[in-house]
Amino acid sequence: MNLIAQYADWIYLVAAVLFILTLKGLSSPTGAIAGNRYGMVGMGLAVLVTLVIAPSPNFALIILAMVAGAAVGLYRAKTVPMTQMPETVALMHSLVGLAAVLIALAAVHNGDQHHSTVQRVELFIGCFIGGITFTASVVAWGKLSAKLAAKPLKGGWVKPVQIGLALGMLGFGGHYFITESLTSFWVMTAFSVVLGYFLIAPIGGGDMPVVVSMLNSYSGWAAAGIGFTLNNSVLIIAGSLVGSSGAILSYIMCKAMNRSLVNVIFGGGMGGDEAAGAAGDAVQKAYKSGSADDAAFMMSNADSVVIVPGYGLAVSRAQHALQEYANALTEKGVKVRYAIHPVAGRMPGHMNVLLAEAEVPYEQVQEMEEINSDFSNTDVVLVIGANDVVNPAALKDKQSPIYGMPILEAHKARTVIVVKRSMSAGYAGLDNELFYLDKTMMVFGDAKKVVEDMLKAVAH
């Protein structure tokens, strides 16, 4: 133990390097497993060193908390279905924010310690970011799990309330900084917690992938704030890595949606009254429908097929059956690829994880920028459970809330087959003109059942 304490800074440095390698590994499917292992080893080293160098730690309480947390985490990791992964991630972010708030409050109430000017700033920033992260993440969890309405909170009063809460938070935080008033710190914390709700409630369902990414960034900065409060260098480094990488990912996601990050953060959500109106017109339009057998016949006689997966694929757990069907098509000489939109699903990388779970070869999975130019040369596009990410209104309708958002240009293929349960609008609340094109055939039903029926048709 003395040896560990003697080389604590060096071990922290090794842990920080491992965290950097973790992010590098997680940047691609091939390195994800190794990246996770680097992170586990790095966190293990960081926890071990912290326990050794901590002054008078209460090992009984620490071990109890670690065992309880590990038990809950292991249970959740083994039981959570892929459809609930986004809300689970959001809920985990809320715990980081709550931890930041509790640690800041504990530090402020530590009567034996005088806080310097820099420390008071650190406590203020760490606590208000943590408070916002906590409530915002809980609201995001509620929206993603359908416990709360996905529709945005609207009204001319929303922006003034946001501004008032932010000013109140900064005002009481400033008063604490000057006077070290515990009351002001508590009031500032309360303002930040309420502000977290009003930052996420006005955001619509179509923007939730960006919100999850943004909350990931918030949780990282909250962790960095905890690191400053505890004077723990490795926690500062880890939090900064998560915060900066989450911010970069949020920017990339917004760019993929042709959105402003500031607009998303302050509730400029997709889908509004215009979306609702567009969705209401869906039943008035004519569309063509067919059976799983019809779809299987067209795809088995095609030279090239592109599959566009969406959240409906995750809901029905159809990824394994879909890959088995793709293999059957490949055996018949059909070129099969998967097209992934950056915001497909409910969180960044959602579709990539689903396909990796089904052991889809990496070379068959292509991002939007790689495959868009090839849709016009594709015989059949199979859209399964996706909606907004293939909506041509983003390119043509200047009145559409998603106008300007880059999409997978499935409408350029020679034939489009769409598997959906019904003609209902997507998560952003918009009707999709792709469904009404002459080249489009709708196949209604549960995605897994439809794919299994197509597989049987191809096998015969």
Least confident of 112-126, 294-308, 366-380: 112-126
pLDDT of residue 56: 82
Residue 289, classed as helix, strand or coil, is: strand
Compute the average pLDDT of residues 430-450.
91
Structure tokens at 318: 């159809």
Least confident of 230-239, 269-278, 282-291, 366-375: 269-278
Judge contact between 126 and 225, C-beta under 8 A. Answer: yes
Please state, in angstroms and rounded to a whole number, the distance separating the CA atoms of residues 261 and 247.
Answer: 9
pTM of the model: 0.74
Judge contact between 313 and 389, C-beta under 8 A. Answer: no
Judge contact between 107 and 229, C-beta under 8 A. Answer: yes
- Name the residue with higher pLDDT: 59 or 263: 59
Q: What is the DSSP string of 380-436?
A: EEEEES--GGG-THHHH-TTSTTTT-----GGGSSEEEEEESSS---TT----GGGG
Picking from 40, 229, 204, the residue whose alpha carbon sits closest to that of residue 120 is: 229
437-440 contacts at long range (C-beta below 8 A, 24 or more positions apart):
437/411, 438/288, 439/411, 439/413, 439/414, 439/415, 440/287, 440/288, 440/415, 440/416
Picking from 104, 84, 8, 109, the residue whose alpha carbon sits closest to that of residue 53 is: 8
Structure tokens at 230: 């505890």
Compute the average pLDDT of residues 158-169.
93
pLDDT of residue 105: 92
pLDDT at 453 over 80: yes
Catalytic residue among 388, 397, 431, 438: 388
Mean pLDDT of the chain: 86
> Could you say which DSSP state residue 268 is in?
-
Please state, in angstroms and rounded to a whole number, the distance separating the CA atoms of residues 431 and 282.
Answer: 6
Q: Is 388 assigned a catalytic role?
A: yes
Structure tokens at 434: 């792709």
- Name the residue with higher pLDDT: 278 or 436: 436
pLDDT at 134 over 90: yes
pLDDT at 14 over 90: yes
Structure tokens at 190: 């309360």
pLDDT at 423 over 90: no
pLDDT of residue 316: 84
Question: Whose structure tokens read 């009254």?
Answer: 273
Compute the average pLDDT of residues 26-45.
87
As beta bridge partners, residue 416 has 381, 440
% of the chain at pLDDT higher than 90:
44
Structure tokens at 433: 């003109």
Strand order in the sheet with 365-367: 365-367, 335-340, 304-309, 380-384, 415-420, 440-444
Please state, in angstroms and rounded to a whole number, the distance separating the CA atoms of residues 111 and 121.
Answer: 18
Instruction: Give residue 42's pLDDT band: very low, low, confident or very high (50, 70, 90).
Output: very high
- pLDDT, tens digit, 9 for 90 and up, residues 284-340: 678 899 999 999 999 999 999 999 998 888 888 889 999 999 999 999 999 999 999
Give me the amino acid identity at 188: M
How many residues are given for the chain? 460
Give the CA distances from residue 1 to residues 48, 53, 59, 160, in Å, rounded to whole numbers and listed in that order: 10, 9, 15, 55
pLDDT at 272 over 70: no
Compute the average pLDDT of residues 161-180.
94
Structure tokens at 38: 């680097």
pLDDT of residue 174: 94
Compute the average pLDDT of residues 139-147.
83
Question: Whose structure tokens read 């619509």?
Answer: 204
Give the CA distances from residue 262 to residues 266, 267, 341, in Å, rounded to whole numbers and listed in that order: 6, 9, 22
Instruction: Give residue 116's pLDDT band: very low, low, confident or very high (50, 70, 90).
Output: confident
Judge contact between 380 and 413, C-beta under 8 A. Answer: yes
Please state, in angstroms and rounded to a whole number, the distance separating the CA atoms of residues 379 and 302.
Answer: 6
- pLDDT, tens digit, 9 for 90 and up, residues 395-419: 888 887 777 788 899 999 999 999 9
At residue 211, φ and ψ (nearest 5 deg) are -60, -45
Compute the average pLDDT of residues 208-235.
86
Instruction: Give residue 276's pLDDT band: very low, low, confident or very high (50, 70, 90).
Output: very low
- pLDDT, tens digit, 9 for 90 and up, residues 226-247: 888 888 888 899 999 999 988 8
pLDDT of residue 88: 86
pLDDT of residue 436: 93
Structure tokens at 247: 């911010």
Compute the average pLDDT of residues 57-73.
90
pLDDT at 452 over 90: yes
- Name the residue with higher pLDDT: 106 or 344: 106
pLDDT of residue 281: 46
Judge contact between 292 and 366, C-beta under 8 A. Answer: no
Question: Whose structure tokens read 């909250």?
Answer: 222
Please state, in angstroms and rounded to a whole number, the distance separating the CA atoms of residues 210 and 246.
Answer: 10
Instruction: Give residue 112's pLDDT band: very low, low, confident or very high (50, 70, 90).
Output: low
Compute the average pLDDT of residues 245-260.
79
Least confident of 120-129, 139-148, 253-262, 315-324: 253-262
pLDDT at 188 over 90: yes
